[in-house]
Each structure stands twice: as structure tokens, then as C-alpha cells.
Amino acid sequence: MPPAVPGPILRRRRLGTELRRLRERAGLTGDQVIERIGWASASKLSRLENGRSRPDPDDVGVLLALYEADDELREELLGITLEAGDMRGWLRNFPVMTQQQRGFAELEAGCAEISEYNPVLVPGLLQTPGYARHRISSASRVAEQAGDAEGEDPETEVRARQARQSLLTRSPDAPRYTAVLEEAALGRRAGPPAVLHEQIVHLCELAMLPNVTLHLLLRDTRIGDWYLPPTAFSVYRFADPLDPETLAIEGGFTDVMSTEANTLNRYKVVFEWLRSAALSASDTLSWLIEATGRLTESAVESTAAFGPASAPAQRRRGSGRLTTDR
């Protein structure tokens, strides 16, 4: 079960932010700190303040003494230091974990709120094993043809993604989760009908959780002043207000993380536009339930195409049909 506390990487960022704040409050430059405590390299302090290295409690203790931190703050930051260095202990919370999934698992741990959008896929936290298997296996084939075949076995990646997903049912500290799903993510290009049927049923079940809110964005729905979101992204807000909100931008083969306020605010605006344009949570659930009914057992077995699909009458915004290949 994913822990209800932030992961080591987030702890390192928090520690680095606090150490920089204390140094600046003490009126010291980085060079002055290095000179006073006798470290051989200025990069050591820089890596600590930027959260890029595993902190040593003795090093942090020396800095806190130099900055004249009070006893209460010293105890708090030394506790964060221990959490920031215990990657192995933190990973024991998961039955299986991979390098690819770990970055997101660390962001998700300790979250109070997660907001996600993806223009072509069901977000990872919502994927069934079958849907995830198609996504991971197809990406692996791309890597193989590009001459970069290194990586975890796809089945291990699927299990690691499933390990992350228990976050949504964690009790009593499950985060508030909101996702805007594109109709295209549930279209025929995403996988065989049986896989899609299973995925839609799973979304129906998740949509009924008290902490999960799903919004479906129909294919022809206008967003704001004809805005087109260019990429998938997630916004993470943490229970501790001193842990900075984090933005993750998914680029297919490269992910970018940012805590820069202006960038975060832009994506928050975009998410609200998307959420406002999409079906309400109740209409989304109705649409998903209707979609499962259209996938009859005979249609699944024969891999037939989806039939017509309509959004609930009270909020019709487009054709409402599941996306098909064209």
C-alpha cells in the first residue's frame, strides 16, 4: 500500500528549500558557508539546497548549527533528513516498483489532491492491467525499434503501476483525485473491445468512490476560446503546505517536473477550462454506464465496433460517439 507520507525525493526538495531559507536569513552566501564549515566543494551545498543528493544527517546538523536554527526546527529538519535518505525503506511499502513508475509513485505519496488530464490515454492511476499492458508493451516495441531495448519487463511495469493505484483506496488518507478523460482514450485505437469494456467498467467503479471525480470531454467539445491542450499533465498538492505544489508534464518518452509558480498557475487555469467544458461527474458516470451496455458479449467476442453513443440529454455537447479509427 502506498504510504501516506511524501517520498524521499519530495523530502529532499523540502529540506533543500528550508536550508536555503535559513542560509539567506543568516545573511550568508554559499561560498561563505563552504569556507566556514570546511567543505571541499561548493557543489555539495548546491546539491543539498536543490534536493539533488541524499542528505547526510551530520552535514545537515552542521548547517543547522551554523544557521542557529532553534531546537524545534532542528528536530523537524533532522527528521525530514532521515526520511529523505531512506529510499529503500520507503520502497518496501510497494509489493513491486520500477524506475519508470517510481517517479510518479513518489509524487503521489503524501498527496492531498491530484488533478490529471491526458489527451489520448486513460491516466495511469485509472488503468486496468489489460489497458496498461497494451500501453507499456507498445511503448517497449518503440524502444526496441529505436535501438533502446533496456528496461523492465512489461509485466513487471504493469504490476508496479497497479501498486501505485492502491493509493486511491488507501484509508483513511486517500487523496482527492480529479481527472478529465478524453473520449479518444476510450476509442477503438486504444485496444481490443474486450480490453476497453473492462476499462470502462473499471472507470464506473472508480467514479463511485467518494474521493474520485471523473469528467469526460467529448470529442467535438469546444474548450474556452478554441483552446487545444498540447500535452498530458498532472498537478499535485500535498497535505503539508510547506511541500511545494508540483506539476508533471508527460511528453510520451520524456517527463518534466516543475514547482515554478507561474508555470503551475497556467496549467491550473487550463485544467479548470477542461473541467468546465467536460461533462459533469454524474453525466460522465451515465455515459460510461451506457458505454458498457453497448459492448455486448457478442460484440466483444467478435471485436465489433462500438455502436452509437450519446451524452446524457441534459448536457449534450457533441456527437457523443466513442472515437473510431479514421
140-153 pLDDT, tens digit each: 788 778 777 666 78
Residues 128 and 145 in one domain: yes
| DSSP character at residue 303 | T
The helix/strand count (H/E) of the chain reads as: 13, 6
Residues 291 and 187 in one domain: yes
Residues 275 and 155 in one domain: yes
Measured distance CA(31)–CA(28) in Å, rounded: 8
Q: What is the pLDDT of residues 104-157, one digit of tens each?
A: 887 787 788 999 999 989 999 999 999 998 888 888 788 778 777 666 788 888
The domain in which residue 262 lies consists of: 99-315
Confirm whether 2 is domain-assigned: no
3-state secondary structure of 247: strand
Q: Of 91, 124, 158, which one is at a domain's C-terminal end?
A: 91
Measured distance CA(147)–CA(168) in Å, rounded: 36
Q: What is the pLDDT of residues 195-240, one digit of tens each?
A: 999 999 999 999 999 999 999 999 999 998 899 988 999 999 987 7
Q: Of 75, 91, 107, which one is at a domain's C-terminal end?
A: 91
Burial 35-68 (b: 16+ CB within 10 A, else e): eeeeeeeeebbebbbebebebeeebbebbbebbe
Confirm whether 320 is domain-assigned: no
CA distance to 24, 80, 240, 260, per residue, from 18 (Å)? 10, 10, 14, 16
Measured distance CA(183)–CA(215) in Å, rounded: 10
3-state secondary structure of 275: helix
Confirm whether 326 is domain-assigned: no
Measured distance CA(252)–CA(128) in Å, rounded: 19
Confirm whether 324 is domain-assigned: no
Residue 66, domain CATH: 1.10.260.40
3-state secondary structure of 174: coil
Residues 27 and 138 in one domain: no
Residues 68 and 191 in one domain: no
Confidence of residue 184 (pLDDT cuts 50, 70, 90): confident
| DSSP character at residue 146 | T
Q: Could you tell me which residues come within 8 angstroms of residue 310 by beta carbon, excluding any fewer than 6 positions away?
A: 290, 316, 320
Measured distance CA(4)–CA(104) in Å, rounded: 14
Number of domains in the chain: 2
Residues 103 and 169 in one domain: yes
Take residue 229 and report the three cell numbers written for it.
491542450
Q: What is the pLDDT of residues 262-321, one digit of tens each?
A: 999 999 999 999 999 999 999 999 999 998 877 654 344 444 344 444 444 444 343 333
Confirm whether 323 is domain-assigned: no
| DSSP character at residue 323 | P
Confidence of residue 95 (pLDDT cuts 50, 70, 90): low
Residues 34 and 151 in one domain: no
Residues 165 and 293 in one domain: yes
User: Are residues 283 and 314 in contact, defined by beta-carbon separation less than 8 angstroms?
Assistant: yes
User: Are residues 185 and 217 in contact, defined by beta-carbon separation less than 8 angstroms?
Assistant: no
Residue 212 CA neighbour count, 13 Å, CB half: 21
How much is the pLDDT for 209?
95
User: Are residues 167 and 104 in contact, defined by beta-carbon separation less than 8 angstroms?
Assistant: no
Q: Of 48, 69, 91, which one is at a domain's C-terminal end?
A: 91
Phi-psi region of 91 (alpha: psi -120 to 50; beta: other; left: phi over 0): alpha
Residues 231 and 275 in one domain: yes
Residues 203 and 135 in one domain: yes
Residues 260 and 219 in one domain: yes
Residues 203 and 306 in one domain: yes
Q: What is the pLDDT of residues 45-78, one digit of tens each?
A: 988 888 878 889 899 999 999 999 999 999 999 9
Confirm whether 325 is domain-assigned: no
